[in-house]
Amino acid sequence: MGGGQRFMMLRIKQFLAMAGLTALEAIRQPICLLLSAGCVVLIAAVPLMIMHTFGEDGKQVRDSALAFHFVFGLFIAGHASGTLLSHEMKSGTASAVLSKPVSRELFFLSKFTGITVVVMLFSMCAAIATLLSERVAEKFYFTNTLTGYITDTQTGAMLFGAPFVACLVAALINYRFKRPFASTAFVMLLFSLLFVLVMSGFFERNGTWMPYDFHVQWRIVPVSILITMALVVLAAIAIALSTRLDTVPTLVISSTVFLLGLMSDYIFGRFAENSGFSAFLYMVVPNWQHFWAADALSGGGNVPWEYVINAGLYAAAYSTGILCLGMFSFRHVEMK
């Protein structure tokens, strides 16, 4: 292996080690488990809570579940990005790592990647919970033996129980093998949701056995992917800010950017044609509306994959720009 290749391999190994550690650090924090499990429980509880929907249960559940995914995801992405790097710089672990043969750029990027992994794992949990919750919601059912509105209580019970089973298994693993509870429960949550997704495929909505069929609306998946992209962009903004700011200012500014981005079409977009300044702000502030496509699913609609790819390119370009600024800032920061 040549010198250049060896150098590259070393950098990749260092990158993977640091990104892995960041993800591990994030999921070992109890708040990560609390937010993820809380989100899943709320998504599972949506079909029980909504009433008087005039046959729109599926839509209501879908919209609410996706909103929970977005809001809880924002907390996880914002908290992890806003606290991990600034905490490392304040506690000195960043100094300890940067005293090793690790470049600052690599360290910064690995932190972002680690957080992105956590955001993706959370999004997988939320997306599976949304698929299942939508299946649980009361729908009109028509077979030879039964006609009427049916709630899939069996899947609902399994979905509702998944976070509790995950915590129970994690507690047993902690007792038996002394593995950390929070991270084990987080991973178990994902596995238990996957298990429920697979198991629910064996049952009809009325609880009888049937030939294997998932019976979930896969068209929700592109919408969940779009939400995940928004969370990754927000994570990039928060981590870039945290190179210079403390946790509280980082979270305040990230939240402000989020709110401005939500209203971007209204407060900047409509003036963009006539005002250069508004056009600039409209371009610079991330437009979260691009990533919220739940309405496209009403009336049996779909989000085309071309749209998802284009939104992905927008998210990638925006994140790259923000991360470059973050890297530049981190390169010159002094480690206390």
End-to-end CA distance of the chain: 38
Contacts for 22 with CB less than 8 Å, ≥ 6 apart: 84, 110, 111, 113, 114, 115
Site for another protein contains 249 (CB under 8 A): no
- Region of 13-21, 212-220, 255-263, 287-295 interacting with another protein (CB under 8 A): 13-21
The reply on whether position 284 binds another protein by CB under 8 A is: no
* Interior/surface letters 189-226, b for 16+ CB within 10 angstroms, e for the rest: bbebbebbbeebbebbbbeeeeeeeebbbeebbbbbbb
**Site string (162-181) toward another protein, x via CB under 8 A:** ----------------x-x-
Tokens representing residue 279 in the block: 């056009």
Q: CB–CB of 243/87 below 8 Å?
A: no
Shortest Å distance, C-beta 77 to another protein: 19
Min separation Cβ 286 and another protein, Å: 28
Q: Cβ closer to another protein: 198 or 333? A: 333
Smallest distance, Å, CB 87 to another protein? 10
Closest to another protein by CB, 18 vs 162, is 18
Interface segment toward another protein; rule CB under 8 A; list 90-98, 185-193, 258-266, 290-298: 90-98
Q: Which stretch binds another protein (CB under 8 A): 8-16, 194-202, 286-294, 315-323?
A: 8-16
Site mask, another protein, residues 97-126, x = CB under 8 A? xxxxxxx-----------------------
- Cβ-proximal residues to 228 (8 Å cutoff; 6+ apart), any chain: 73, 119, 120, 123, 127
Angle made by CA atoms 291, 296, 299, in degrees to the nearest 5 = 160
Q: Is 80 in the site for another protein (CB under 8 A)?
A: no
Task: Check residue 187 for interaction with another protein (CB under 8 A).
Answer: no
Q: Which of 336, 319, 326, 328 minimizes the C-alpha distance to 98?
A: 336
Closest to another protein by CB, 14 vs 123, is 14
**DSSP assignment of 14-53, as one string?**
HHHHHHHHHHHHHHTSHHHHHHHHHHHHHHHHHHHH----
Match 């990560």 to its residue by tokens.
Answer: 32
Q: Is 151 in the site for another protein (CB under 8 A)?
A: no
The residue ranges that bind another protein (CB under 8 A) are: 9-10, 13-14, 17-18, 21, 24-25, 28-29, 91-93, 95-103, 178, 180, 183, 332, 334-335
